[in-house]
A and B are shown apart, each in its own frame.
Chain A
């Protein structure tokens, strides 16, 4: 299985400051069709996961433009330009390029 390694595991951030989460995969996530199937999910406390970003850098409908995704191959990043209180939760990267789908262990974002 493809191992997804996230860092940091815990991310304390001051309100209004930027945040960055790294995700590395044990294999390239480029699929045979040229797409890279790397998604980011947000899970707020007590809620279901919510997809934020798909195929590396595409924001889902309704997702704030404070969130952006980038990367290629095996290295990916989720950035939040200015952290707000509602961003508290756990963020997961997930790959769907290789069978089976695998998730990172998650990065817990908290407000300092």
Chain B
């Protein structure tokens, strides 16, 4: 059974960089036609897709966040990471990592999600 677990600081100061890691267990991050995805959810609001990465390091990022987002993968540790720079209060949210499954090049988050981690941007 694949499991994902987010980790990282729960509090980040404005203008700094948010950094989160997602650890994958129960399967190799390098196997299969999966993309590894970040999604966020501001308190009381809906879901926003941030971006995804393949084991090769190839990424696709939401254009609305692209200038501030970096997603990377460490296959030796079976982890992938998110960095979001120049954060403001608007970036306060629960951040989820998830596995995306692909069909004919179309990939979307599926069954496996982390439990989510709350990141608050505040001084």
Residues of A within 8 A of B (CB): 1, 31, 33, 35, 37, 39, 41, 48-51, 54-55, 60-61, 92, 94, 96-97, 99-106
- Assuming the contacts A35-B103, A48-B113, A100-B62, asked whether A54 and B48 have C-beta atoms less than 8 A apart, the reply is no
Task: Please state if A105 and B46 are interface contacts (CB–CB under 8 Å).
Answer: yes
Chain B interface, number of residues (Cβ within 8 angstroms): 23
CB distance from B53 to the nearest CB of A (A): 14
| A33, A35, A55, A102: the one within 8 Å of B49 (CB) | A102
Given the known interface contacts A48-B96, A104-B46, the answer about A96 and B113 at a Cβ–Cβ threshold of 8 Å is no
Contacts beyond the supplied A33-B104, A48-B114: 12 A-B pairs with Cβ under 8 Å: A1-B64, A49-B39, A49-B47, A49-B113, A51-B109, A60-B110, A94-B47, A97-B106, A100-B63, A102-B49, A105-B45, A106-B46
Chain B residues with a Cβ under 8 A of chain A: 39, 45-49, 60, 62-64, 96, 103-104, 106-111, 113-116
Contact A92 B108 (CB under 8 A): no
Q: Assess whether B108 is in contact with A54, with CB atoms less than 8 Å apart.
A: yes
A–B Cβ pairs within 8 angstroms, 12 of them: A33-B106, A35-B104, A48-B116, A51-B111, A60-B111, A92-B47, A94-B47, A100-B62, A101-B108, A103-B47, A103-B48, A105-B46
